Structure 1
Amino acid sequence: MTARRTVDNPADSATPRDTADTTATDAGATTDSTATAPARVGYGTLLRTPGVWTFLAPAFLARLPYAMLSTGILLLVKETHGSYGTASTVAAVAAVAQALIGPQTGRLADRYGQAAVLVPAVIVHALSVGALIALALGHAPAWSLFLAAVPAGASVPQIGAMVRARWIAKFTADGASGSSTAKVSTAFAFESVTDEFTFVIGPILTAAIATTVSPSTGLIVEAALTVVGGLAFAAQRNTAPARQAHRPGAKRASALASPGVRLLAGTFLGVGAVFGGLQVSVYAFADSVGQHGAGGTVYGIFAGGSMVAGVLYGVIAWRRAVQQRMIMSYTLLVLGCSTLWAMPNLIALTVAGLVCGLAIAPTLISGYTLVETLVADGAKTEAFTWLTGAIGLGLAVGSMAAGRLIDGHGPSVGFLVPLAGAGLGLAALVSLRHLLTAPGQANAAVTASPERAAAPQLVGAAKG
């Protein structure tokens, strides 16, 4: 499709005025129709939207613990049980529980409302983390730690998915339009930047607390932030999306019924393996060179690179279809991961991690944008939680595999896990990329950032 796009230069956006002829194709299909893409919406315009800070501020507090939980578990169990293998497995169990249960809580939130799910979840989370801390400090057997990690991970509130659902509800209340889809796209870029910022602050904060106070205190802070932020977020009911009541006799299909959602979940699994394998390997590498406290900083710089890339992604007027952008960024991720295992010292590893991180946010933003076009309104929170859960599951597998390799062969070998996970994800993405276009959009490429001009339907699933 050939489209003429004029991108305005708002005072609060770094996007230059750019009028360009763009040619976008999807799965080899083209069309002669001409359309005008909406002007780019700047971050300043987005954040000045009335009412958004009422849910953004508590959401930040509530989602920060997401990046603290696995690091806190890893540092605490390593301290009490003396094994990266055991520590990474406990963290992995929590991540698996989150990956499997998170989408179900997202589905419940779509049906019964976000507050109805959040309030009991944060209470269960605080109690479960408390039990895990007590067992670890009491040097309880590993199997008991695994049992405690299940509810701790399963009860992690899916704040990121809920915030994205609120952005959609905010901007599409009067129906989909060029303006609303531009705003949604910028909101998704902002959310990715926020996610990455939490991954910058979370590990550093947890490592700092663990080394200066105690590893258990890091998890106590994580649980406290979850409760305070989660309850404050749940209290903001005016900005929550409307509940999707179930009609008697109607079949409610999962968002996972969409082949495109399944493909994106698989590729996000690879991204999660990068997070998990890199996290464990970085801490082990820092330990091996006698700089234990530096692990959180190195991992934070990796996430910082992703955050910078996410900011830039949101202000660039893209000429390529979003499917193509995702393939390009995922390819760069694989290339970045391919250098990690060969780094000789922490400085070199930090630089390599920064370069690797630059590909993360563009990949995630593209994936979240695509999945929003593949599902109906009543399944969006669930769809987002499947992607978030896939990251968590990949993190679990990646951290566990890296931990075992590190115990047996040293920290450098652990860096092969991110490469393997990203490589498999890229292979799936390239070979099955045709699944990322919803029926009815085959002749209209997904372009610029909002990636659509009409409300999509849930692919392969009945509405209900």
Structure 2
Amino acid sequence: MTQTSIPAPSLLRLTGLPYFVIAFIARLPFAMMVVGVLTMVVTVRGSLSLGGLTSAAVGLGTALVGPFLGAAADRWGQRVVLALSAVLNAAMLAGFALVVYLPVPDALVLASAFLIGATAPQVSPMSRSRLVTIIAERMPQTQRARTTSATMSYESAADETVFVFGPFLVGILASFIAPWAPIAIASALTLLFVGAFALHPTGRHVSVERGVDGRAPSAVSELFRPALLVVVIGIFGIGLFFGASLTALTSFMADRDAAEQAGLLYGVMGVGSAVLALGVAWLPARFTLHARWLVFAGILVAGAVLFATSTTVTTMVIALALVGVGVGPTIVTQYSLGAARSPRGRSATVMTMLGSGVVVGQAVAAAVTGAVAEGAGTPIAVVLPAVAAAIVLLAGIANRVISPRHH
């Protein structure tokens, strides 16, 4: 009698297709928030500077509170944290739409924006953590490395797609309905889809590495090991690049009386980045994570240098396409390293640390680049993305130096 072996379960079978649909839509409100807030404040209050500060306040709230939401999810499970976050964030978005239209001080507008960021559901980091935990605990050892790489590729591509489509959706809703429409739609999507993400069966899963009291077997100090901090610095550099490149590109196009086309050109980088991020899953295992970081960060630097020296829209498009080749795989690699180096029982904390690194970098670079563009002009502003790309590459070099040679 012939014995047939049972095929190992795929991640899709373990989670179900609806999970990926829900998780994809659930991250859309976050992509709409920053641009939606900026658009609404500028349109209603007529102040570009207040709009920029309000967007930064959203990013600051997310950066400061996000890692604590991740730690809470690690301790008590994602379901309760996400459900509470979804309700609070939907309420904060609705409240913000009201505050902006009322004759209240700007400080109240900024405080309201900060609360939007502070209550923002960390869908992307939570999804990564959830899937990594399922892979580690329910899949055969032989499948884990490749499945983790493919998962990080998908998650990064999903983020890139959403962050290209989100601002586009904001523009459509604000133009054809009203300035408050993007915020109202984001509030409804948060309540419905983040709620569904929280209540999905996978949301009940808590890492088996946690004790019965919810405590992690690893110390908090392990979150600050050099091998993990260098990844946080590297992904912070990616955030710096995002913020600097979009702001510098806007200034570059404004000089040509076409500022409204900056988002369209920026999409060239986003689409290319998403496609290349998906392709990382098919790279051979001998092309190690450390080598990938160095190679693709090098491509990012090359694209950033071309960005800084572009004098025509055509060369700028070529620069953005080259940047997309470097940035997508670099993000995938950094998240894969973060997953591999997460202290036991703290994967959600690590993923939210990395997500917050991107947000903080983006907010800081957008503010600095905007000030430089206004004060010193576009020729200086377009150099700043190259500085950010250099930080990413230097972090990759440091990662290679401090990592074991056999990795």
Distance of 1:320 and 1:218 partners within structure 2: 42
The residue identity in structure 2 corresponding to 1:278 is S
- The one-letter code of the counterpart of 2:21 is A
Q: 2:61 aligns to what?
A: 97
1:216 and 2:161 aligned: no
How far has the Cα of 1:126 moved from its partner? 1.7
String of CA shifts for 1:400-422, please: whole Å, max 9, x gaps.
11222233344554333322222
Query: In 2, are the aligned partners of 1:81 and 1:139 still within 8 Å (CA)?
Result: no
Once the 2 structures are TM-superposed, how far is the Cα of residue 157 of structure 1 from its aligned partner?
1.1
Distance change (3 Å), C-alpha of 1:323 and 1:251: closer
| Distance (whole Å) between structure 1 residues aligned to residue 17 and residue 27 of structure 2 | 15
In the aligned structure 2, how far is the partner of 1:188 from the partner of 1:408?
Answer: 39
1:433 aligns with 2:400: yes
Residue 142 (structure 2) aligns with: 178
Report the alpha carbon displacement of residue 386 of structure 1 after superposing the two structures with TM: 0.5
Work out whether 1:360 is the aligned partner of 2:327. Answer: yes
Q: Separation in 1 of the partners of 2:276 and 2:214?
A: 43
2:127 counterpart of 1:163: yes
TM-score (norm 2): 0.88
Of 98, 106, 114 in structure 2, the residue corresponding to residue 134 of structure 1 is 98
Deviation at 1:49, TM superposition (A): 2.5
Partner of 2:368: 401
Select 1:422's aligned residue among 355, 364, 389. 389
- CA, structure 1 residues 172+410, in 2 after alignment: closer, same or farther (shift >3 Å)? same
* Change in CA separation of 1:415 and 1:148 when aligned onto 2, cut-off 3 Å: farther
| Residue number in structure 1 paired with 2:4 | none
In 1, the alpha carbon distance for the partners of 2:89 and 2:177 equals 22
5+ residue gaps, structure 2, are 1-7
* Partner in structure 2 of residue 275 of structure 1: 242
Match of residue 21 from structure 1: none
CA distance in 2, matches of 1:46, 1:306: 26
Residue by residue over 1:30-61, the C-alpha shift from the partner in whole angstroms, topping out at 9 and shown as x without a partner, is xxxxxxxxxxx9xxx95742433232111111
Which of the numbers 41, 54, 61 marks the counterpart of 2:18? Answer: 54
1:98 is aligned with what amino acid? T
1:387 aligns with 354
Mapped to 2, the partners of 1:253 and 1:227 lie a distance apart of 32
Amino acid at match of 2:57: V
Kept in 1: contact 2:11–2:135 (CA 8 A): no
2: CA distance between counterparts of 1:377 and 1:216? 43
* CA deviation string 1:83-110 (max 9, x = no partner): 5443222212211221121111011101
Is there any run of 5+ residues in structure 1 with no aligned partner, and where?
A: 1-40, 446-464
Question: Is the 8 Å Cα contact of residues 231 and 334 (structure 2) preserved in structure 1?
Answer: yes
Q: Matched residues in 2 for 1:392 and 1:105: separation?
A: 15
- The answer to whether the 8 A contact 1:85-1:403 is kept is no
Cα distance 1:332–1:238, how it changes in 2: closer, same or farther (>3 A)? Answer: closer
Check conservation: 1:258, 1:375, Cα contact below 8 A.
no
Question: Kindly tell me: are residues 128 and 239 of structure 1, through their superposed partners in 2, closer, same or farther at Cα, counting changes over 3 Å?
Answer: closer
CA distance in 1, matches of 2:314, 2:180: 29
Answer yes or no: is 1:119 the counterpart of 2:83.
yes
% identical equivalent positions: 24
Q: Is the 8 A contact 1:62 1:227 kept in 2?
A: no
What is the CA–CA distance in structure 2 between the aligned matches of 1:195 and 1:370, rounded to whole Å? Answer: 18
Distance in 2 separating the partners of 1:219 and 1:285: 28
Are the structure 2 counterparts of residues 301 and 443 from structure 1 closer, same or farther at C-alpha, using a change threshold of 3 Å? closer
TM-score, normalised relative to structure 1: 0.78
Q: Please say if residues 306 and 358 of structure 1, whose CA atoms lie closer than 8 Å, have aligned partners that are also in contact.
A: yes
Change in CA separation of 1:238 and 1:375 when aligned onto 2, cut-off 3 Å? closer
Q: CA deviation at 1:112?
A: 0.5
Deviation at 1:143, TM superposition (A): 2.5
How many residues are matched?
397
Match of 1:7 in 2: none
Asked if the contact 1:260/1:371 (under 8 Å) is kept, the reply is no
Which shifted more, 294-303 or 99-108?
294-303
Query: Which amino acid counterpart does residue 180 of structure 1 have in structure 2?
Result: R
SS of match in other structure, 1:354: helix
Q: Where does residue 69 of structure 1 map in the other structure?
A: 33
Does the CA contact (< 8 Å) of 2:216 and 2:344 recur in 1? no
Partner-residue secondary structure (3-state), 1:444: coil
* Residues 1:262 and 2:229 aligned together: yes
CA contact 2:223–2:342 (8 Å) conserved in 1: no
Corresponding residue for residue 332 of structure 1: 299
Q: Name the CA distance, whole Å, in 2 between partners of 1:349 and 1:139.
A: 42
Distance 1:209 1:195, change over 3 A: same
Query: Could you report, residue by residue, the CA deviation over 1:320-357 in whole angstroms, capped at 9, with x for unpaired residues?
Result: 22111102211221221223244345444333222212
Query: Alignment partner of 1:215: what SS?
Result: coil
Q: Name the aligned partner's letter for residue 401 of structure 2.
A: H
1-structure distance, mates of 2:215, 2:363: 38
CA offsets, 1:242-285, max 9 Å, x none?
15344789774155222222111111111101111223333444
Match of 1:444 in 2: 406
Which SS does the other structure have where 2:406 is aligned?
A: coil
- CA distance in 1 between counterparts of 2:251 and 2:177 reads 20
1:300 to 260, 267, 270: 267
Judge conservation of contact 2:231–2:395 (CA < 8 Å) in 1: no
